[in-house]
Every structure is written in C-alpha cells, then in structure tokens.
Chain A
C-alpha cells in the first residue's frame, strides 16, 4: 500500500514536471512543424537564471523573473534566428535548433563553469510538510506540484477560453487565413515560441534546485522530453499531458518493483541465476520510456492523441 501511495505521489510530480517541459515543445512544434532541439537548453537556462537572480534578490523574484528572461531570450531567437532560417525549409530550422542547443551548452559552461552550481531550495520551503509511513515529504515537492497544476490550468484557460487563445490556435493551423484577417501572425509565432521557452524556463526554475543545476542537465533531460512529445502525439497538448503522466508513473512504479524476470516468467523455466532471469524490473526503469516510444511508433505512429505522422 505504501509503495503505491509513494509511487503515485512521486510519479505525478515527475510527470507534471515533464509536462511543463514538453507542453512548450509541443506548442512550438504545432507552430513550426519542427521539433526544437534546443528546448531542454531553455530548461537549463531557466535554472541558471534563477540561480543568478536568487543570488541577487530572493527565490520568489527568481520564480517570476527567470522564466520571463528565458521567454525573452526565446523570442529573440525566434525573431532574429528562426524566422530567417524558416525561409530555407524545415531541415534548416532543425539544424538551427540543433546548433543552438550546443551553443547554449557552451555559453552556460563559459558563464557559470563546467561543474554544478549551488542552487538551493529556499529555506521557506525547505521543511518536511508531512510524514506518511515513516517517510517525510518535503514541502518543496508539494510546491512543485502546485506550481505545475497552476501552470496547467493557466495554459488550458489561455488556449481554450480566451480570444487570444482562439487566435493562437487558428494561427497554428491556418496562418494565412489569420493573417488575411488582419492579425500579425509573425508576432503571434514569436509570442508562442517565447511562451514555450518560458514554460521550459519555469520547469528549470523549480526543477533545477530540486535536482541538480549543471551544464549536463539539458542533455540529460532532452531525450525524455522528446519521448513525451512523440508518445503523446506531436502537437497535441492533451497527448503530451497523458504521456508525461504515463511516463512519470511508469518510471517511479518500476523502481519500486523488486521482482525479477525470473519471478515473473519462472513458470516458463527461467532460472533466477541466468543472465536474463536476474534482471529486475527496478533496474529496467530508465529504459521503459524508450521502450514505450518504440512500441507506440509501431502500433500508433501518430502518438496517443496526435493527428499527424511523426
């Protein structure tokens, strides 16, 4: 029972953090039709900006300011980089974001050093909130949960219930029509790109001090975010949400399962000492998202809720 409760809590938090990252990516994909390889780099920038801002002021200022700075950087990238490259087609855009990821990586190493920075959870949130089954649950984890849910609701409201969201959605699917109606489509795209980056930045602000803030965080987070977006269906926000939760829960549940293949397939004569039989489910946890990716691509190439082929 306690295993289930813990795995549920941890899985939901990890899933929400993944969603925060992938929602921006999937928004940008709907717009450009191309995956933004540098997306995880904006996540990293969020953490580093927050670290710097927190050093000068405090965490709460950083929580607001850092995502905004990341968003502004993102808008700049769109305005002076991607928009020019766009004329040369999708491959050029893809290569541009690919190069940008490396560029940001190197810049971060030059500015903040090659090793991790001491970006700490603020004291006001650094206490155990409650204790279940002898394990304390830190207030910061619950804070992550609330920030993510707040962001989720805000995003949903903005896109589905406001006029601005209506225009954005229209511009994503029918840019020419929206342009003819008198809206400034390039400005909308710039805004969407900036907002997507800001979301990644926000994930960095709340994830960076919970995990670790170092120049490798983008590279480590990159693949899993792509898995979420592809499994969920490219360009589908609902899909990204379902996929992020699925992967978050899958990974945390797998870690808590001690059974090995021999325990499961023992009836087939698999011995617990054999190479294959001794593999435990827990040790396979990091592989599961990628297994899911392969399976989804075979069974349902559009992803769980997407409407276009990868």
Chain B
C-alpha cells in the first residue's frame, strides 16, 4: 500500500514537473563568461548590461508575452570549464547562450553548440557572441547557430588603419597582444592592412605575451621604448589592457596606444591625465556621442545601478533588443525561428543602424574611434575623464564592412 502511494505520488510529481516545463513562460539566457578572477570585471560588466537590457524588455511586456531570464555561469575564461557550464546551462533549460570574453572560449562554444544541435533536433540552442572577435567565426568557421554583435578584429583594425593613414607622423608601429587565437588574428590583420594602406610604415615589434598572466609589463614597455615606435596597436582586454597602459604611464611612454579595449575597466583611471591623446579605442558607440534622451537615461540608470562599472557594453543592449525584435517578428521564441528572423534584420540603435548580415551572421554597424578627454558629459572609472570622438573618428558601417568567405549550412 505504501509502495503504491509512493508510486502515485512520484507519478503526480513528475507529471506536474513536466507540465511546469511545458508551460514555462521564461526565456532562459545563459551568460557564460568570467565572473571572477583577473578577467572577472570584464565578464561582470557584460553580465550587468545584459541583465539591465532584459529587465527593460520584461518591463515593456516581455518577448511575445514571455519574460527573459539571464543566468550567469562563471567559466573562468577556460574553454574546458565553459563546456561544462554550457552543458549545465542547456540542462537547466537555456536555449540562448551569451558569451564574449575570449575567442578560445567562443571557438569551443561554437563547436559544442553545432554538435548539440545536430544531435538534439527540436532542442536547438543559439549562441549570441557579443565580444569574441576572431574573424574566422563569421568566415571559414561560420555557423548558422552563431551570431556576432561586435565588429570583428579585421573590421576594427580597418578603422584603426584608416585613422593611421591620416596620421603621417606615425612611421614606426609596435604590435603587442595576448598569445592566443585572438591576439594572433589582431597581429595578422594589422600586418596585412598596414602593408596595404601605409607601406612606408615599419613594424618595429610584433609581440605576444601570455593571456592574463603578466603582472608587470615594464619589460615589454621598455622594449617598445627602445624600438623607437611612434604608435602601439594592441587587442589586449581586461587586466592585460590596464596593466599594459599602467606600465607605459610609469615609464613615461607617451605615444598613441591604438586599442580595441582601452575602455577596459580601470585603464583610464590608471593613466589619469596621461591618457589624453595617448589612449585610443575603437568601439560601436561611446557614451559621449550625441544620442537621444532615452539613451542618456539608460546610461545614467546603468551607472546608478552598477556604480562599479560604466555603460560600456552597448552591444549587450543591441543584442537583447534585436533578439526581442526577431522573436516578435517570428511570432515565436523558438531558437530556429528567432535565428531565421534575425538574418538580415535591421535595428535603429542609439549610435546608428545595426544590420545582422544574413550571409555570415556578422552585425554591420558604424564604428567610432575615441580618445580620452577632460571635456565630456560622462566620465569613466568614477573620475572626470571620459571618451570623446577624435577627428575623422566616425567609420560608417559601409566602410567598416569586411567581405566574408562564409558558406553557411542552414537547417531547412
């Protein structure tokens, strides 16, 4: 009798549980990025941006009536750990994956997502990449399940080299980057584009250092000084960015640092006024551009809610809003339907129009080159210095666009 009761109870519970999962009214997003450790601040700044974006969408009625939930999974920037976290996320019902920090991680996730979707038809997951910018992901290694909302390394390098073209005083360039697939991609893009646009420029150094391991960049900076470089190009991010410019400031190196991620937390604060005219970054938007009042309100709300960070991951908001648009357009929150609706979708963002190119799932958007200035509306790192657009700093989407070799296989 007791056994029968137990069995009946178990059956009821499992039916209830199944019913629960069927009528789920949350769309689960898994945010897989470093949330602790040296790169933790990069991940956490992204995580808070996605959470705020989701809150805004939820407050406006959600996606097709469903609420978005963004759950963080700490991957410690390790591809191996990311796969464990990815499985955990999928098992807990996440159908959308958000990741950005580290192309080595992104490559592992793309591969795992491809395999998962091939093996589990009907349970597909889609991966929104908001910051891993190795060009291969939307070229030879492109995947229907992967969407990139950040401009890739070749596109950003295009912006930087276009700017260098207008600076005749730069004759010697030093390349320094992190020793993994992304750092190599940045160096390769710089070499190729500089030899094309400014063949007179001499590359006086091409250096890769270990990712997130170097504590003291002074020896590297002294190499840069003795090379006589006029400018440094780097794709460094996280603490590697901050420590690099900190060491440069301490050694009195005052040449332009053309960076992808000079906006990394603490870099401006570490340099102080020394960053004016020496630290440059290329991004899809900066807070001090002319924008709508709504955008200003969003920037202020973000700073208010998360005082440790600044509004930096504009693309996190673009990602979530484009997801919302695509899902509404498809009339469904199903990953395949959303993915198909995202292809070719155009979104009027705060800093220009973003188009998700259907061929390779690479977002096309205007890029902005900015440097640190005193005379700004919004400072960063809780000091009064902030990012301001440089002359000729706006690169329209058409100029930033790069061709693709992607041959995508689509589900029917």
Binding site for B on A (CB under 8 A): 2-3, 6-7, 10, 14, 109, 113-116, 118, 128, 131, 133-138, 140-141, 210-212, 214-216, 219-220, 252, 255-256, 258, 282-283, 286
Q: Which of B215, B221, B252 interacts with A220 by CB under 8 Å?
A: B215
Tell yes or no: B318 within 8 A of A by CB.
no
Q: How far is the CB of A259 from chain B (nearest CB, A)?
A: 13
Task: Indicate if the CB atoms of B35 and A135 lie closer than 8 Å.
Answer: no
Given A214-B37, A286-B213; 10 other pairs, CB 8 A cutoff: A10-B218, A116-B265, A131-B252, A134-B226, A135-B226, A135-B251, A214-B40, A216-B36, A255-B223, A256-B219
Q: Which of A10, A118, A256 interacts with B216 by CB under 8 Å?
A: A10
Task: Indicate if the CB atoms of B222 and A216 lie closer than 8 Å.
Answer: no
Contacts of B381 in A (CB 8 A): 118
Which residues between 195 and 246 of chain B lie within 8 Å of chain A, taking CB atoms? Answer: 207-210, 213-216, 218-223, 225-226, 239, 242-243
Q: Which residue on A lies nearest to B254, using beta carbons? A: A136
Q: Which residue on A lies nearest to B227, using beta carbons? A: A258
Q: How far is the CB of B167 from chain A (nearest CB, A)?
A: 21
Contacts of A137 in B (CB 8 A): 251
Task: Indicate if the CB atoms of A114 and B239 lie closer than 8 Å.
Answer: no
- Complex Cα distance A140/B251, Å? 11
- Complex Cα distance A115/B209, Å? 22
Q: How far is the CB of B301 from chain A (nearest CB, A)?
A: 20
Mind listing 6 A-B residue pairs with CB under 8 Å? Answer: A116-B266, A131-B252, A134-B225, A211-B215, A212-B215, A214-B239
Task: Indicate if the CB atoms of B215 and A282 lie closer than 8 Å.
Answer: no
- Complex Cα distance A252/B217, Å? 10
Task: Indicate if the CB atoms of B38 and A212 lie closer than 8 Å.
Answer: yes
Contacts of B226 in A (CB 8 A): 2-3, 133-135
Q: Which residue on A lies nearest to B35, using beta carbons? A: A114
Task: Indicate if the CB atoms of B37 and A215 lie closer than 8 Å.
Answer: yes
Task: Indicate if the CB atoms of A216 and B37 lie closer than 8 Å.
Answer: yes
Q: Which residue on A lies nearest to B208, using beta carbons? A: A283
- Complex Cα distance A214/B44, Å? 14
Task: Indicate if the CB atoms of B40 and A283 lie closer than 8 Å.
Answer: no
Task: Indicate if the CB atoms of B225 and A133 lie closer than 8 Å.
Answer: yes
Task: Indicate if the CB atoms of B252 and A135 lie closer than 8 Å.
Answer: yes
Contacts of A134 in B (CB 8 A): 225-226
- Complex Cα distance A115/B266, Å? 11
Task: Indicate if the CB atoms of B239 and A283 lie closer than 8 Å.
Answer: no
A133-B226, A211-B215, A220-B215 in contact; A118/B266 too (CB < 8 A)?
yes
Tell yes or no: B192 within 8 A of A by CB.
no
Task: Indicate if the CB atoms of B38 and A214 lie closer than 8 Å.
Answer: yes
Task: Indicate if the CB atoms of A135 and B266 lie closer than 8 Å.
Answer: no
Q: How far is the CB of A139 from chain B (nearest CB, A)?
A: 10
Tell yes or no: B253 within 8 A of A by CB.
yes
Which residues between 288 and 311 of chain B lie within 8 Å of chain A, taking CB atoms? Answer: 308
A7-B219, A214-B239, A286-B210 in contact; A138/B250 too (CB < 8 A)?
yes
Contacts of A14 in B (CB 8 A): 216
Task: Indicate if the CB atoms of B213 and A211 lie closer than 8 Å.
Answer: no
- Complex Cα distance A3/B225, Å? 11
- Complex Cα distance A239/B30, Å? 50
Q: Which of A113, A135, A216, A286 interacts with B214 by CB under 8 Å?
A: A286
Task: Indicate if the CB atoms of B252 and A211 lie closer than 8 Å.
Answer: no
- Complex Cα distance A210/B250, Å? 10
Task: Indicate if the CB atoms of A115 and B44 lie closer than 8 Å.
Answer: yes
A10-B219, A128-B252 in contact; A283/B38 too (CB < 8 A)?
no
Q: Which residue on A lies nearest to B250, using beta carbons? A: A138
Say what secondary structure dominates the interface of chain A: mixed
Task: Indicate if the CB atoms of A118 and B242 lie closer than 8 Å.
Answer: no
Contacts of A136 in B (CB 8 A): 250-252
Q: How far is the CB of B37 from chain A (nearest CB, A)?
A: 4
Tell yes or no: B140 within 8 A of A by CB.
no
Q: Which residue on A lies nearest to B226, using beta carbons? A: A2
Contacts of B259 in A (CB 8 A): none
Task: Indicate if the CB atoms of B40 and A114 lie closer than 8 Å.
Answer: yes
Q: Which residue on B lies nearest to A215, using beta carbons? A: B36
- Complex Cα distance A124/B358, Å? 57
A212-B38, A212-B243 in contact; A282/B207 too (CB < 8 A)?
yes
Tell yes or no: B108 within 8 A of A by CB.
no
- Complex Cα distance A6/B219, Å? 7
Q: Which of B36, B179, B222 interacts with A256 by CB under 8 Å?
A: B222
Q: What 1/0 mask marks residues of chain B from 70 to 92 whose CB sits below 8 Å from any chain A CB?
A: 00000000000000000000000
Task: Indicate if the CB atoms of A216 and B219 lie closer than 8 Å.
Answer: no
Contacts of B269 in A (CB 8 A): 118
Task: Indicate if the CB atoms of B223 and A220 lie closer than 8 Å.
Answer: no
Query: Which of B35, B218, B242 gathers the greatest number of chain A CB atoms within 10 Å?
Result: B218
- Complex Cα distance A21/B44, Å? 31
Task: Indicate if the CB atoms of A212 and B242 lie closer than 8 Å.
Answer: yes
Tell yes or no: B370 within 8 A of A by CB.
no
Query: Which of B214, B221, B222, B251 gathers the greatest number of chain A CB atoms within 10 Å?
Result: B222
Q: How far is the CB of A261 from chain B (nearest CB, A)?
A: 15
Tell yes or no: B41 within 8 A of A by CB.
yes
Q: Which residue on A lies nearest to B215, using beta carbons? A: A211
Q: Which residue on A lies nearest to B210, using beta carbons? A: A286
Which residues between 247 and 280 of chain B lie within 8 Å of chain A, taking CB atoms? Answer: 250-253, 265-266, 269
Contacts of A3 in B (CB 8 A): 222, 226
Q: How far is the CB of B362 from chain A (nearest CB, A)?
A: 30
Q: How far is the CB of A273 from chain B (nearest CB, A)?
A: 14
Which residues between 165 and 191 of chain B lie within 8 Å of chain A, taking CB atoms? Answer: 179
Contacts of B41 in A (CB 8 A): 115-116, 214
Contacts of A219 in B (CB 8 A): 37
Q: Which residue on A lies nearest to B213, using beta carbons? A: A286
- Complex Cα distance A220/B210, Å? 13
- Complex Cα distance A216/B44, Å? 15
Q: Which residue on B lies nearest to A128, using beta carbons? A: B252
Contacts of A133 in B (CB 8 A): 225-226
Which 4 A-B pairs give the minimum distances between C-beta atoms? A136-B252, A115-B41, A255-B219, A216-B37
A109-B36, A283-B208 in contact; A220/B266 too (CB < 8 A)?
no
Contacts of B218 in A (CB 8 A): 10, 141
Contacts of A116 in B (CB 8 A): 38, 41, 239, 265-266
- Complex Cα distance A13/B214, Å? 15
- Complex Cα distance A140/B38, Å? 23
- Complex Cα distance A6/B179, Å? 24
Q: Which residue on A lies nearest to B308, using beta carbons? A: A115
